[in-house]
């Protein structure tokens, strides 16, 4: 799992570490350099380097914003779902409003609705100057974990 570089960051809560231990953050999120900074069902924060996540013109690829957002929204939804259920994405939309060409982008995921079967989050992605780059809304469906499906620690 990719951890924040700064030792000044608070460690992630143990229940989050358990989720990561069983499910991991995913190969794509790791490959993109996503670093989780804060995680709860209500609010999650992560950052991603611009370098390595650009399209041919040198701008962050719109799909990279969506990967950052979906990584945040899915993890927050799974924390809300708890250990006997899983959250799966059923809808996501994104509006990109400004490019980034260097540094880091940060996603802040905020719960809009934490229901029994549907969870919706808004993810605001900004640059290091605090300018909004992309706004993403994601809805996850919470369902029972398939029978026999067991997540083993890595």
Residue pair 59/100 in contact by the 8 Å Cβ criterion: yes
Instruction: Report yes or no on 79 lying in a domain.
Output: yes
Domain membership of residue 139 as a residue range = 14-144
The CATH number of residue 59's host domain is 3.10.129.10
**Of 70, 122, 128, 147, which one is the catalytic site residue?**
70
Q: What is the mean pLDDT of the chain?
A: 86
Can you give the pLDDT at residue 134?
Answer: 98
Nearby residues of 30 by Cβ (< 8 Å), 6 or more positions away = 1, 2
pTM: 0.85
Instruction: Report yes or no on 7 lying in a domain.
Output: no
CA distance 5 to 36: 10
Can you give the pLDDT at residue 8?
Answer: 42
Can you give the pLDDT at residue 15?
Answer: 55
Q: Report residue 1's pLDDT band, with 50, 70 and 90 as the boundaries.
A: very low
Instruction: Report yes or no on 105 lying in a domain.
Output: yes
Instruction: Report yes or no on 62 lying in a domain.
Output: yes
Instruction: Report yes or no on 74 lying in a domain.
Output: yes
Q: Report residue 4's pLDDT band, with 50, 70 and 90 as the boundaries.
A: very low
Q: Report residue 85's pLDDT band, with 50, 70 and 90 as the boundaries.
A: very high
- Give the 3-state secondary structure of residue 137: strand
Instruction: Report yes or no on 92 lying in a domain.
Output: yes
pLDDT at 17 over 80: no
Number of H helices, E strands in the chain: 3, 6
pLDDT at 124 over 90: yes
Residue pair 124/132 in contact by the 8 Å Cβ criterion: yes
Could you give the strand order of the β-sheet that contains 132-144, starting from the edge strand earlier in sequence? 35-39, 43-49, 104-114, 118-126, 132-144, 85-96
CA distance 16 to 140: 18
Top pLDDT among 25 and 7 is at: 25
Instruction: Report yes or no on 35 lying in a domain.
Output: yes
Token digits of residue 29:
């999120």
Top pLDDT among 26 and 12 is at: 26
Active site residue 70: yes
Instruction: Report yes or no on 18 lying in a domain.
Output: yes
How distant, in Å, are the alpha carbons of 68, 114, 132, 151 from that of 21? 19, 24, 32, 9
Number of domains in the chain: 1
């Amino acid at each position: 799992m990719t951890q924040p570089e700064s030792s000044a960051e608070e460690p992630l809560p143990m229940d989050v570490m358990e989720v990561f231990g069983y499910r991991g953050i995913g190969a794509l999120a790791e490959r993109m350099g996503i670093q989780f900074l804060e995680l709860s069902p209500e609010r999650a924060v992560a950052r991603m380097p611009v370098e390595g996540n650009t399209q041919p013109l040198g701008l962050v690829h719109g799909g990279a914003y969506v990967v950052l957002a979906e990584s945040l929204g899915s993890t927050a939804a799974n924390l809300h779902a708890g250990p006997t259920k899983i959250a799966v994405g059923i809808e996501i939309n994104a509006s990109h409003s400004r490019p980034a060409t260097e540094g880091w982008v940060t996603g802040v995921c905020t719960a809009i609705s934490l229901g029994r079967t549907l969870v919706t989050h808004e993810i605001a992605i900004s640059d290091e100057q605090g300018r909004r780059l992309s706004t993403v809304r994601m809805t996850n469906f919470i369902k029972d974990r398939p029978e026999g499906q067991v997540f083993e620690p890595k």
